[in-house]
């Protein structure tokens, strides 16, 4: 039976970037990537027509490592006949999420080594090779590349009711709810929660009876995206962060949270404007905003209505109760060890439910194996806030490819950055972390 050098699990932007950078070497390296979706899709439940990407278009699948690659966003614009019109728009900001999805799909459609409709059920290790079971068929590979994404964080009190009326924001546009005349609660105030609120108050075809928006943050906070915040999304910083002590890493992750978890200024401005217009011009009901609160209880009556309890974060005796027909949890995503790794989990090193990761993004093992498992988008705890973001995709892919091929196929030596991260040691032990 055929033996692959690399099998990739999941075809989101992370593994798609690796596939694009492997493409020039496809005659030398045997690889295959699997994804359970029918075709490439990028977070379809949040594909609002006007949503924009939150990074520079230069942070596409390849350009930060190989600007000459044919899989660049620029080449996509050229090949699809829109480069002049794109340039005529006069700016490179505000590229729509929809257009970046078209670009990803255009790349995916070009590569033969990608197999959709292919669910990875189980990974075993036999005779010095990984055995990957996909749709009941066995594939063998020396190395694995896991890019299976993140999973939804669900508050415990909502778990019993998960379904069409209680769901995570990543399913917002894929449920068939009609929100008109409904009482709706949105939990969470990151970019996703804000986009859903904007959709609900902006869309002329939707007129909810009321909207409650609650968050544990003390206010709706903007994303920190100055060029200095962007320094944290530079490979230099990732290398520096990797070598810090664990406690310091945890503190920094909290301090730097709003470089990715805040709301873009343009979304905040649009929401405020629309709230103003609804209140004074359109006579529409207010959005009830509850900040600094936690959702602490949900009950359902025999007619299907939900009764929610919110508690103030710093005073749990201060509570408010209200009724809701639909609950949307914009409560974030987290890394969970995928179930398909269960059969070999005792060979892999974990701490606090997370993998221990080597410098080259391979998972540390407690037994010596012939090949490695490399991990995309599961190293925030050791690599910093940029890990789930698009910023380091190409660089991370290049590091992984070099490690697998034991060759310097791509130059991963980092560019300059404005801050000298390695000067002395940071001491933020006494810094109060309030977020």
Ligand X SMILES: Cc1cc2nc3c(=O)[nH]c(=O)nc-3n(C[C@H](O)[C@H](O)[C@H](O)COP(=O)(O)OP(=O)(O)OC[C@H]3O[C@@H](n4cnc5c(N)ncnc54)[C@H](O)[C@@H]3O)c2cc1C
User: Which chain residues interact with ligand X by CB under 6 A?
Assistant: 9-15, 34-37, 42-43, 46, 53-55, 119-120, 147-149, 192, 340, 376-377, 388-391
Instruction: Name the nearest CA neighbour of 157 among 5, 344, 359, 306.
Output: 306
Task: Tell me the closest approach of the beta carbon of residue 41 to ligand X, in angstroms.
Answer: 7
d(CA 255, CA 433): 7
Q: Minimal CA–CA distance to 221: which of 186, 267, 184, 278?
A: 267
CA distance 22 to 402: 10
- Of 37 and 153, the one with the shorter C-beta distance to ligand X is 37
Contact between 7 and 389 under an 8 Å Cβ cutoff? The reply is: no
CB of 432 to ligand X, least distance (A): 29
- The least distance separating ligand X from the CB of residue 23, rounded to whole angstroms, comes to 17
User: Which are the contacts of 210, defined by CB distance < 8 A and separation ≥ 6?
Assistant: 183, 184, 285, 288
> Minimum distance between the CB of residue 14 and ligand X, rounded to whole angstroms?
3
By beta-carbon proximity to ligand X, the closer residue of 135 and 323 is 135
Residue number, nearest CB to ligand X: 12
Q: Which residues neighbour 148 within 8 Å (Cβ) at sequence distance 6 or greater?
A: 9, 10, 120, 338, 340
| Distance of closest approach, residue 47 Cβ to ligand X, in angstroms | 8
Percent helix / strand / coil, the chain, rounded to 5: 30, 25, 45
With CA atoms as reference, report the closest residue to 375 among 388, 134, 248: 388
Residue whose CB is less far from ligand X, 108 or 326: 108
Radius of gyration, alpha carbons of the chain: 23
Nearer of residues 194 and 308 to ligand X, judged by Cβ: 194
- 311 SS3 class: strand
Query: Minimum distance between the CB of residue 385 and ligand X, rounded to whole angstroms?
Result: 11
Q: Which is nearer to ligand X, 50 or 309 (CB)?
A: 50
Q: What is the DSSP string of 43-61?
A: -GGG--TT-B-SS-TTSSS
Smallest separation, CB 152 to ligand X (Å): 10
Q: How far is the CB of 337 from ligand X (least distance, A)?
A: 12
- Choose between 149 and 235: whose C-beta lies nearer to ligand X: 149
Q: To which H or E segment does residue 272 belong?
A: helix 265-280
Nearer to ligand X, 12 or 193 (CB): 12
Nearer to ligand X, 132 or 310 (CB): 132
């Amino acid at each position: 039976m055929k033996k692959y050098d690399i099998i990739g699990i999941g075809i989101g932007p992370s593994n798609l970037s690796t596939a694009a950078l492997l493409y020039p070497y496809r005659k030398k390296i045997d690889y295959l990537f699997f994804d359970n979706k029918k075709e490439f899709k990028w977070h379809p439940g949040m594909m609002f027509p006007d949503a924009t990407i939150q990074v520079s278009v230069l942070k596409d699948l390849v350009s930060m490592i190989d600007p000459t690659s044919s899989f660049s966003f620029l080449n996509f614009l050229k090949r699809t006949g829109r480069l002049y019109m794109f340039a005529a728009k006069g700016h490179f900001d505000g590229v729509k999420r929809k257009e970046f999805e078209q670009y990803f799909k255009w790349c995916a459609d070009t590569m033969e080594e990608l197999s959709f409709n292919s669910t990875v059920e189980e990974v075993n290790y036999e005779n010095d090779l990984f055995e990957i079971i996909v749709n009941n068929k066995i594939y063998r590979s020396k190395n694995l590349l896991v890019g299976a994404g993140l999973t939804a964080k669900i508050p415990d009190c909502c778990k019993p009711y998960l379904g069409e009326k209680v769901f995570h924001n990543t399913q917002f546009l894929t449920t068939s709810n009609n929100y008109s005349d409904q009482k709706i609660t949105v939990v969470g105030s990151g970019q996703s929660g804000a986009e859903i609120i904007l959709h609900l108050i902006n869309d002329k075809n939707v007129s909810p009876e009321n909207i409650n928006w609650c968050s544990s943050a003390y206010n709706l906070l903007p994303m920190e995206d100055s060029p200095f915040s962007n320094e944290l999304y530079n490979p230099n910083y990732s290398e520096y962060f990797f070598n810090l002590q664990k406690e310091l890493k945890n503190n920094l992750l909290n301090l730097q949270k709003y470089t990715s978890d805040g709301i873009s200024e343009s979304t905040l401005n649009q929401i405020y404007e629309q709230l103003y217009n609804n209140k004074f011009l359109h006579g529409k009901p207010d959005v009830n905003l509850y900040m600094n609160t936690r959702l602490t209880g949900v009950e359902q009556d025999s007619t299907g209505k939900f009764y929610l309890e919110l508690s103030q974060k710093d005073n749990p005796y201060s509570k408010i109760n209200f009724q809701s027909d639909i609950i949307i949890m914009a409560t974030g995503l987290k890394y969970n060890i995928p179930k398909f790794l269960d059969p070999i989990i005792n060979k892999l090193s974990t701490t606090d439910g997370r993998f221990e990761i080597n410098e080259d993004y391979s998972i540390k093992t407690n037994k010596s194996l012939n090949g490695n498992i490399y991990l995309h988008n599961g190293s925030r705890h050791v690599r910093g806030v940029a890990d789930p973001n698009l910023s380091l995709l190409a660089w991370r892919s290049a590091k992984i490819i070099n490690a697998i091929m034991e060759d310097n196929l791509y130059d991963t030596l980092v560019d300059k950055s404005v801050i000298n991260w390695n000067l002395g040691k940071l001491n933020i032990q006494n810094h109060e972390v309030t977020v």
